[in-house]
């Protein structure tokens, strides 16, 4: 069984931008947003993937990901998603031996930036970059499957990390 162990953080400032190694445009939609098992289709650059994720327990969740033809993914996004897709730019930043994925959300989630790090285990140590803000790993509102249902721009909170 595949398992994803990740931690998520808001950002304090844009100091990470000077360290970006690559950027990929992504669009993803959900065929199921059930917290017990989400099903996502994603186009990332010139590739596409179907991903099934189990219920998140603390920092981990079962995850299975399969490549699909990009044209099939476009049709699935167009006709089968339960909500409007999410659009974002994923920036890859290396910091002290760890790769960080910084998602810069667009569209209805514009203004939201989330830094994610995937770890070997939930207690794997890592150095916190100075641009990291508040940890939101356990706040379900920041999951992509929640953001398609309740976009960031509709939140009635202070949008600070």
Q: Is 146 helix (H, G, I), strand (E, B) or coil?
A: helix
The rounded distance, in Å, linking the Cα atoms of 33 and 29 is: 10
Q: Which of 30, 113, 142, 152 is catalytic?
A: 30
- Nearest one of 101, 106, 115, 95 to 13, comparing CA atoms: 115
**In the chain, alpha helices (H):** 70-79, 144-147
126, 94 in Cβ contact below 8 A?
A: no
The residue length of the chain stands at 161
**Active site (annotated) includes residue 152:** no
Bridge-partner residues for 99, per DSSP?
94
Tell me which residues are annotated as active site. Answer: 30
């Amino acid at each position: 069984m595949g398992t994803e162990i990740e931690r998520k953080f808001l950002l304090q400032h844009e100091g990470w931008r000077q360290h970006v190694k690559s950027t990929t445009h992504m669009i993803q939609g959900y065929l199921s947003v059930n917290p017990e098992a989400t099903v996502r289709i994603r186009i990332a650059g010139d590739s596409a993937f179907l991903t099934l994720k189990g219920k998140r327990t603390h920092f981990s969740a079962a995850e299975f990901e399969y490549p699909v033809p990009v044209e099939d993914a476009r049709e699935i996004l167009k006709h089968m998603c339960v909500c409007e897709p999410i659009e974002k730019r994923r920036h890859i930043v290396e910091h002290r031996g760890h790769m960080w994925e910084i998602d810069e959300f667009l569209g209805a989630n514009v203004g939201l930036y989330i830094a994610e790090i995937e770890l070997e285990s939930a207690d794997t140590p890592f150095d916190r970059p100075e641009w990291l803000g508040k940890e939101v790993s356990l706040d379900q509102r920041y999951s992509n499957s929640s953001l398609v249902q309740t976009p960031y721009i509709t939140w009635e909170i202070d949008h600070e990390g």
